[in-house]
């Protein structure tokens, strides 16, 4: 099943599955958005679970692969300047340096090629811009046998379980880690802040 088809089917149930569990981590990640008006990309905006936590003084572009997800996100954006764009986070339809901030909440472990996705984020961020990442990652060398065994099925339906964040940075040499801290599930989910140099 393709990612687009899978998330079209998942869209009606997505919020019930993850909204409550991820709310506090989302808020914490978004709390570092700049105080000055900025251009913010929400890569993989999904059903818009980040939108209620966003300050109103930025311009937001919410990108998602499926119409079903965007349709649910748009009503949550009534208090902010928001443009919904249907597109692929692995091939962003934006010029280099288009954004001051990129928010990547639960997207890098979803896309088939997370290194390409992170490379695209580096491309569309202006120098000095930041990327806010919240997702599940294995640590380098972590065996995680059960996750790795479940990955072939999980990755076909909804999400990858075998992504090692450190290996993704090779595809985005312009991004430097400023913060990396555990967020949920004993550190499997991490909150990472990156800066475009």
Assess whether pLDDT exceeds 90 at residue 4: no
Q: In the predicted model, what is the mean pLDDT of residues 84-112?
A: 96
Handedness of CA 22, 67, 9, 117 (dihedral sign): negative
What's the whole-number average pLDDT of the chain?
87
Query: What six digits make up the tokens of 127?
Result: 């120098």
Class for the domain spanning 3-196: alpha beta
Q: Percent of the chain, pLDDT > 90? A: 68
List pLDDT tens digits, range 67-89: 999 999 999 999 999 999 999 99
Is the model's pLDDT at 8 over the cut of 70?
no
pLDDT band at 7 (very low <50, low <70, confident <90, very high): low
Q: What is the DSSP string of the chain?
A: --HHHHHHHHHHHHHHHHHHHHHHHHHHHHTTS-SS--EEEEET-TT-TTGGGS-TTSEEEEEES-HHHHHHHGGGGTTSEEEEEE-BTTB--S-TT-EEEEEEES-TTTSS-HHHHHHHHHHHEEEEEEEEEEEE-BPTT---HHHHHHHHHHHHHT--S--BHHHHGGG-TTEEEEEEEEEEGGGTEEEEEEEE-
- So what's the pLDDT on residue 50? 97
Q: How far is CA 114 from CA 42, 87, 166, 168, 189, in A?
A: 16, 15, 11, 7, 16
Residue 155, pLDDT > 80, answer no
pTM of the model: 0.86
Cα(174)–Cα(50) distance, integer angstroms: 26
Please count the other Cβ atoms lying within 10 Å of the Cβ belonging to residue 47.
24
């Amino acid at each position: 099943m393709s990612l687009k088809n899978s998330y079209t089917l998942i869209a009606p149930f997505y919020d019930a599955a993850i909204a409550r569990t991820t709310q506090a981590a989302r808020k914490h990640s978004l709390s570092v958005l700049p105080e000055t008006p900025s251009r913010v990309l929400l890569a993989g905006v999904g059903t818009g679970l980040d939108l209620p936590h966003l300050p109103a003084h930025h311009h937001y572009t919410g990108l998602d692969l499926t119409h079903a997800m965007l349709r649910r996100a748009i009503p949550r954006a009534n208090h902010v300047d928001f443009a919904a764009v249907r597109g692929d986070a692995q091939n962003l339809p934006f010029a280099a340096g288009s954004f001051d901030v990129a928010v990547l909440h639960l997207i890098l472990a979803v896309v088939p090629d997370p290194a390409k996705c992170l490379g695209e984020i580096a491309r569309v961020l202006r120098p000095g811009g930041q990327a806010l990442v919240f997702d599940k990652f294995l640590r380098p060398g972590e065996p995680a046998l059960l996750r790795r065994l479940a990955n072939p099925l999980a990755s076909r339906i909804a999400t990858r379980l075998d992504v090692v964040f450190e290996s993704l940075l090779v595809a985005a040499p312009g991004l430097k880690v400023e913060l990396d801290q555990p967020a949920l599930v004993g550190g499997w989910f991490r909150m990472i802040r990156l800066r475009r140099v």
